[in-house]
A and B are shown apart, each in its own frame.
Chain A
């Protein structure tokens, strides 16, 4: 027997040489991190306790940043293609040569036909810079990834209430009594939701998860609503019906803060049918309950009615609230009549409606904080409705997604729970009315900048990006009658349109951080063929492709010129209030990244490379009057660029003495100040301005002072969106700008100024008996947005992705453990491994997205599980709908915004024996790895 012996133990070993504080970029959450450096290597990464986003915590991705930084898949130097497209054969070149090639390709385009450059960026967060570059180049063909991600969510939110979910706002985690989360897997966003859910549960608030799949956040919800995909809108409108019927809506809120009382023209056939009655100043009118007259909405002392009728010269008008009530108080929305389709019982719909009403109105919150509204009326307290919501791609990535997101915002507004204590709160620079956002711009003049920002929010048909014959000006056909409000562009249509030459052929496709030849495209096989297709003369149909990525992704192989990016630990970045900042509901915040370690190879941050290319090409905005480059690199731009006088990419420590907050002259020491402060800037909103921001005079004044906007911009929420109706009127034949006839019926249905629900398009077109199941993907918490398959630690958690099958389907098809299945859609068939999951909507199968990899990519062995058992559902999804029989092919997207309808997919399943080689199908041929393969074994930390 060995006696108990305790060796001497040093319990205070050295932790590291120093801590450098920067911003994580393992996903889009942008947490603050403390990077422990030893011997100039990264030893340990932890959350920054002072940081507003994560307050010290850090997720699996953030903690695995070391493996991402030292990944063998990292590109090493600029490269030009030497083998055929798709082969992955490259030759390393210098940056000088790379810039020369790019400049030789692009400069002539700018002088003659700038639209022949299509510049699309993926998941980057520097759109303020990249869009300015594209504007100065002069091409109309620019957007980021919102079109295939969640533009339905963003656009519906902005049009309805001047802000949406996630980066636009957050639930009041500290005060909400009931929280409903729709269509959120384990992402968007990551740590703040986990922290918030924890706070809700600690306080005993009720959490309801609405999702066909019960993983992640839904696993810990107090109640799980395993809804059938694509029916969330119907479920929400049924709850709205119940609340309206019971009178459980916040009338005072609707009258004060929304356009519910605005009078709407209800005379059929009128050229102004569906538009507001306005006075000569353009102010909408309401029906005054005292005088019975129509008066301006903002007239002092007006008491607006929410029902009634007003006639002017034979034209009839009713309040939009009444139109809404009439629309929803019909049997179509009775819980009994939506139960079967949604998979949610009528009793559950009624009970949840009642619980929402109970929380909102019986648990009213009062904060003793006086405030003054924009009308000058003083309030001695802040009243809260403690019901909060959050939603993401699960409800938006459908062909009915825009109106579904609108329906959810309408529910929030009817409960009076937006921008009040306990409800949903905006984060600066939001709230911001849709009318002060840019409109789309698309006027091209060779050799000159575009006439304004590419992306924006159309206010009517006059803002579409179409020529006088109605043809699309943009390569992605954004802002056309096919999808008039495509506010984020439509990146997912670029390659297929460019390949088809419709609306025209392009010369150079320039992309950043977008794996379009793999998991970021529908119809992956087809896209690979389009990228490699040649014309009769033997030239590629898409002649030139420039791509920037930090890693050897699948897309690298399909590019002609590679600009290798750095990792997030080696670069300057700004997470800017001009872009997608990190603000909190109670503070405006922005942050930076800075090189906490120096690159050990010939790579440059993409933004620096773009600025340097702009300087070389002498683009306006990037060139001084004497022709020299204006900025040395991104850091120089971050500090010295001014978007408006005194307003630049970073809000903190402006002016030479660092005194400027939001406004002020550039400060050469600004980045040092950020570094001293842990990498971020935070300025609290005054107490009297913390709620009711769209209507709160103190908030409006503070926002102007801080440079968020230049004049106060109070506004009403739009339960009724008049801009949408303008497109509908055009479809009815009114106005000069007319849609093509084949789109009229679609527009008349889809462009409804009040939220509606329709059956997802693919579901409508395929035979439900032939394709009885819905098929979905989600990103896992440990991988979301993290480009993580080359990450030695993360891939041990999610190394391959089975198809999860519900208990019903499992039994029906006689599946057994270890089985595989054929999964078939109208577009294709895949063969994949299956696993039983009971906590799943019975009509749904699903898998983790973007785990499957092409052989040869990401420095993985060719027999890595990601490339064998791993698979993509993308092979089953087409960018076009199945033929309708009208001789045309319609886009598989939302008809309002053009958002890719990933989750409309319908499939059937049949059992298959496990193949001997355990290889999923299809399995595209390997690409050559330009970076070789990763090492066999590793033991990180040996050196410390």
Chain B
């Protein structure tokens, strides 16, 4: 068992916009690409060209459908990685102290040299956000690119997680949720962001910005708000293009 810090100075995390995520997997692969060569052991792939390729990823996208009665179905793309919970059960369950939450920014990390690969933390995480690397036998998880966000070898504008920097749809935002005026706090307020599985009591830091309401109307007689604007009632006395002469005069 491992203790969490009483408080953290910052609460760094991601705000993920489900309204604009097209499910392209850019974040998934750029995360893999950065992290396999950086913090800790590589993210290995087993049976990479075989029947059952399975590798370690720190971020994955789940796609599912939402279908309300008498409405067209919707497709939702849902990216998921560690939510850097304030009450992270993956830390408290760790028997060696390898899992820990950083005091300065709240990032949950695994100290791989102390990790025995027991997998308890993955069981404890209600989000399935940790993956045991089959080759190295250590637990891997999102580090919020702790080796990028403070990295003085990177230009300042690049000091953000790889997934945020690469997202073509600008659906991922990085910032400090402890600061009410930060980019992520402001957009979370404005868009009514939701924490994932709040009832689990883990106080996740990451937030999801919900899809905006869709204007899906396939049988929409009553919502024809612009009907008066497009009055195409035939007016036989004026001929086929009754409006044309008058309109030409106006030019």
Contact surface of A with B, Cβ cutoff 8 Å: 1-7, 9-15, 43-47, 49, 54, 56-64, 66, 72, 186, 190-191, 194-195, 197-198, 201-202, 206, 214-224, 226, 242-248, 251-252, 255, 289, 305-307, 322, 325-326, 329, 344-345, 347-348, 350-351, 353-355, 357-358, 362, 781-782, 790, 792-797, 799, 807, 837-840, 859-861, 863-865, 868, 933-942, 944
B21 nearest in chain A by CB position = A220
Q: With contacts A242-B232, A861-B49, A864-B49 known, is A60 near B24, CB below 8 A?
A: yes
Chain B 65-91 residues near chain A, CB threshold 8 A: 65, 67, 72-77
Given contact pairs A195-B170, A216-B23, A940-B36, A329 touches B240 in the complex (Cβ within 8 A): yes
When the two chains form the complex, which single residue of B1, B46, B167, B225 contacts A1, counting CB atoms closer than 8 Å? B1
Cβ–Cβ contact A326 & B240, under 8 A: yes
- A357 CA to B219 CA in the complex, in Å? 21
Chain B hits for A936, CB < 8 A? 46-48, 50
Known: A2-B96, A198-B169, A354-B230. A937 touches B26 (CB 8 A): no
* B248 proximity list for chain A (CB < 8 A): 251, 289, 305-306
A3 (CB) vs chain B CBs: closest residue: B3
Cα distance A219–B78 in the bound complex, in angstroms: 12
Of chain B, the residue at the smallest CB distance from A798 is B25
The answer to whether B123 has its CB under 8 Å from any CB of chain A is no
The segment from B97-105, B178-186, B196-204 that touches chain A is B97-105
Beyond A6-B102, A9-B146, is A354–B50 a contact (Cβ under 8 Å)? no
A-chain residues with CB within 8 Å of residue B100 when the two chains form the complex: 4-6
Can you name 23 A-B residue pairings with CB atoms under 8 Å?
A2-B3, A5-B97, A6-B103, A9-B146, A13-B38, A46-B166, A58-B26, A58-B166, A63-B26, A195-B170, A198-B170, A206-B215, A215-B23, A216-B23, A247-B243, A252-B251, A345-B219, A350-B230, A351-B223, A351-B226, A863-B51, A865-B51, A934-B48
B-side interface mostly: loop
Least Cβ–Cβ distance between A553 and chain B, in angstroms = 15
Task: Specify which chain A residues have a CB less than 8 angstroms from the CB of B168 in the assembled complex.
Answer: 54, 57-59, 190-191, 194-195, 198
The residue on A at minimum CB distance from B30 is: A63
Contact of B44 with A937 in the complex, beta carbons under 8 Å: yes
**CB-defined contacts of B95 to chain A, threshold 8 Å:** 2
A781 touches B24 (CB 8 A): yes
**In the complex where A12-B150, A64-B33 touch, is A248 in contact with B53 (Cβ < 8 A)?**
no
B4 near A4 with CB under 8 A, answer yes
Which residues on A sit within 8 Å (CB–CB) of B102?
A: 6
Asked if B217 is an interface residue, CB under 8 A from chain A, the answer is: yes
Q: Choose among B65, B135, B152 the residue with the greatest number of A CB atoms under 10 Å from its CB.
A: B65
Q: How far is the CB of A70 from chain B (nearest CB, A)?
A: 11
Measured CB to CB, the closest approach of chain A to B44, in angstroms, equals 4
Closest CB in chain A relative to B107 CB, distance in Å: 10
Q: In the complex the two chains form, what is the Cα distance from A246 to B240 in whole Å? A: 11
B29 close to A (CB within 8 Å): yes
Known contacts A66-B33, A941-B36; A217 and B22 CB within 8 A of each other:
yes
User: B220 contacts A347, CB within 8 Å?
Assistant: yes
Are the C-beta atoms of A3 and B22 separated by less than 8 Å? no
CB of B32 within 8 Å of the partner chain? yes
> Is the CB–CB distance between B33 and A11 below 8 Å?
no
Q: Is B54 engaged at the interface, CB distance under 8 Å to the other chain? A: yes
Would you call A944 and B30 a contact (CB within 8 A)?
no
In the complex, are the beta carbons of A781 and B50 less than 8 A apart?
no
Contact between A44 and B146 (Cβ–Cβ < 8 Å)?
no
Chain A residues within 8 Å of B73, by CB? 214, 807, 837-840
B42 near A933 with CB under 8 A, answer no
How distant is B32 from chain A, measured CB to nearest CB, in Å?
6
Tell me the chain B residues, 1-37 only, with Cβ under 8 Å from chain A: 1-5, 19-26, 28-30, 32-34, 36-37
Give B240's nearest chain A residue, CB to CB.
Answer: A329
Asked whether any CB of chain A lies closer than 8 Å to the CB of B55, the reply is: yes
B120-155 interface with A by 8 A CB criterion: 135-136, 146-147, 149-154
Q: Residue on A with the closest CB to B34?
A: A44
Q: Which of the residues B24, B153, B220, B243 comes within 8 Å of A782, measured between beta carbons?
A: B24
A329 to B235, CA, bound (A): 13
Distance, CA A61 to CA B33, complexed state (A): 11
Question: Which 9 A-B residue pairs are closest in the complex by CB-CB distance?
Answer: A934-B49, A941-B37, A838-B73, A2-B97, A247-B243, A354-B226, A354-B230, A194-B168, A219-B75
CA distance A350 to B229 in the complex (A): 10
Whether the pair B214, A247 counts as a contact (CB closer than 8 A) is: no
Give Cα A524–Cα B53 distance, bound, in whole angstroms.
Answer: 27
* Chain A, residue nearest B213 (CB): A222
Number of interface residues of B (CB under 8 A): 105
In the complex, B205 has a CB within 8 A of chain A: no
Q: Which of B135, B167, B215, B227 contacts A57 (CB 8 A)?
A: B167
B54 to A, closest residue via Cβ = A796
> Cβ of A190: which chain B residues have Cβ within 8 Å of it?
24, 168
Contact between A63 and B229 (Cβ–Cβ < 8 Å)?
A: no
Least CB separation from B163: chain A residue? A63
Given contacts A4-B5, A13-B153, A194-B22, 14 further A-B contacts (CB under 8 A): A9-B146, A12-B147, A12-B152, A60-B24, A214-B73, A214-B75, A220-B21, A222-B214, A247-B243, A326-B240, A350-B224, A793-B55, A937-B46, A940-B45
Residue of B nearest to A255 (CB): B251
Chain A residues, CB < 8 A from B33: 44-45, 63-64, 66, 793
In the complex formed, the residue of B with least CB distance to A9 is B146
Closest to A66 in B: B33
Q: Which residues of A contact B236 (CB under 8 A)?
A: none
- Knowing A63-B166, A936-B47, the reply to whether A219 touches B251 (Cβ < 8 A) is no
Are A864 and B50 in contact, CB atoms less than 8 angstroms apart?
Answer: yes
Residues of A within 8 A of B103 (CB): 4, 6
Q: How far is the CB of B88 from chain A (nearest CB, A)?
A: 12
Which among B25, B57, B96 has the greatest number of chain A C-beta atoms within 10 A?
A: B25
Taking the nearest CB of chain A, how far is it from the CB of B231, in angstroms?
6
Q: Could you say which residues of chain A place their CB within 8 Å of the CB of B47?
A: 936-937
Interfacial chain B residues near A255, Cβ < 8 Å:
251
Bound: A345/B223 CA distance, A:
13
Q: Which residues of B sit under 8 angstroms from A248, Cβ to Cβ?
A: 230
Inter-subunit contact B72/A345 (CB<8 Å): no
Closest to B231 in A: A246
Question: Contact check: which of A13, A56, A219, A326 meets B76 at CB < 8 Å?
Answer: A219
A847 to chain B, nearest CB (A): 15
Distance, CA A854 to CA B100, complexed state (A): 47
Establish whether residues B55 and A796, one from each chain, have CB atoms under 8 Å apart when the complex forms: yes
Contact of A859 among B5, B49, B55, B151 (CB under 8 A): B49
Is B30 within 8 A of A13, CB to CB?
A: no
Determine how close the nearest CB of chain A comes to the CB of B123; give it in whole angstroms.
18
Instruction: Report the minimum CB–CB distance from B247 to chain A (whole Å).
Output: 5
Interface centre among A1, A58, A944 (most CB of B within 10 A): A58
Using Cβ atoms and an 8 Å threshold, which residues of chain B touch A49?
157
Nearest chain B CB to A493 CB, angstrom units:
34
Q: A5-B97, A195-B170, A839-B73 are in contact. Are A861 and B214 (CB under 8 A)?
A: no
**In the complex, residue of chain B having the shortest beta-carbon distance to the beta carbon of A794:** B29
* Beta-carbon contact of B4 and A792 below 8 Å: no
Q: Inside 8 A of A329's CB, which chain B residues have their CB?
A: 240-241
Least Cβ–Cβ distance between B109 and chain A, in angstroms: 8
- B230 partner, pick from A242, A348, A861, A942, beta carbons under 8 A: A242
Contact yes or no, A15 B153, CB < 8 A: yes
Q: A33 CB to closest chain B CB, in angstroms?
A: 11
Answer whether A2 and B24 are a contact pair too, CB < 8 Å, given A222-B212, A838-B73, A864-B51: no
Chain A residues with Cβ below 8 Å from B45 are 792-793, 796, 937-940
Quick check: A860 and B5 within 8 Å, CB to CB? no
Given A247-B244, A251-B251, A865-B51: A839 and B75 within 8 A (CB)?
A: yes
Say yes or no: B244 contacts A307, CB within 8 Å. Answer: yes
Report chain A residues within 8 Å CB of B41. 939
> What is the bound-complex CA distance between A855 and B170, given in angstroms?
39
CB proximity of A920 to chain B, nearest CB, Å:
14
Task: Give Cα distance in the complex from A935 to B50, angstroms.
Answer: 9
Contact call A345/B154, Cβ cutoff below 8 A: no
